[in-house]
Amino acid sequence: MADWSKILSRGNVEDRRAYSPATIGGGFGIAGIALVLLLNYLSTGQINVDDVLNQLQEVQVQNEQSYNKADFEGTDSYEVFASTVLGSTNDMWAQVFAQKNMEYQAPRLVLFRSATQSACSGADSRVGPHYCSLDQTIYLDETFFDELQKLGGEGDVAQAYVLAHEVGHNVQNQLGILDTESTPDDSVTIELQADCFAGLWAYSIRDLGVIAPGEINEAMDAAAAVGDDRIQATYTGRITPETWTHGSSEERVRAFNNGFQSGALAACM
Ligand SMILES: [Zn+2]
């Protein structure tokens, strides 16, 4: 475990876990989750949730997940963790933007279960963590991290990498980079840049003693875990690079390392 107590900043986290509907129209099994993960993993807020829901009609199964709303009353350790990671990204990006004579607009982070509303129509656990540019908010159902573990990524530093990647989309939104996404190739470029930005964040806290030297491997393993080739191999057994939206495991690790080794924004641009 990293020592997050060394970071004193906090981000803007809204915990909707106690208020999320248990399901939307039932639940979806692993096949449905896999399909959607392929299409929308760690996506950029350009998701068409209606399409996703249509695709999932055929794989709808009984939802076995249940939880006690009372579990989410008050502030739990996960909320503190998410807020702390977000706070540290805010610190870093505020500095980077200040150097450009710009003011960084910190994103909001909504924690939810199953489904919730976003300005991009609806947020759903099945689409994985994602950023909605219309309300500048990151949507996260932390049960996603069970999926991440199946793909080979686990640990708190791995989870922090995922958050820092989504924050990267908020940065891209403010720099006008998100608007340029139109083809699958553009999508891969944008996603790899968000990984590089996540590496910059890891660099920014490197000397704080938060993450022990070996623990940074968790972030790299997570970057590899969410590579399109890994996801496709795990869930479908077929690897089709022409459909990739986020880049291969190798590309994603390399992008993260570009940021982490250099600590220079220019390395990601
Ligand atoms: Zn992304």
pLDDT at 4: 96
Mean pLDDT confidence for 223-228: 94
Residues with beta carbon < 5 A to ion ligand 1? Answer: 42, 191, 194
The two tokens of residue 200 are 């910059």
Mean pLDDT confidence for 226-244: 93
Rg (CA), the chain: 17
pLDDT at 225: 94
pLDDT over 70 at 113, yes or no: yes
* pLDDT confidence tier of residue 23, bands split at 50, 70 and 90: very low
Say which residue, 117 or 259, is predicted with more confidence.
259
pLDDT at 57: 43
Q: What is the pTM of this model?
A: 0.83
C-beta neighbour count of 147 within 10 angstroms = 22
Measured between alpha carbons, how far is 131 from 40 in angstroms, rounded to an integer?
11
pLDDT at 52: 53
Say which residue, 179 or 20, is predicted with more confidence.
179
CA of 10 to the centre of ligand 1 (A): 22
CA of 41 to the centre of ligand 1 (A): 7
CA of 59 to the centre of ligand 1 (A): 25
Q: Which residue range(s) make up the domain with 258?
A: 4-268
Give the tens place of pLDDT for each residue, 46-76: 555 555 554 444 333 333 345 667 777 778 8
* pLDDT confidence tier of residue 44, bands split at 50, 70 and 90: very low
Q: Which of 43-52, 162-171, 227-236 has the highest mean pLDDT?
A: 162-171
CA of 108 to the centre of ligand 1 (A): 16
Q: Using an 8 Å Cβ cutoff, are 103 and 111 in contact?
A: no
Q: Using an 8 Å Cβ cutoff, are 251 and 227 in contact?
A: yes
pLDDT at 185: 73
Domain total in the chain = 1
Measured between alpha carbons, how far is 211 from 58 in angstroms, rounded to an integer?
43
CA nearest neighbour of 216 among 257, 255, 248: 257
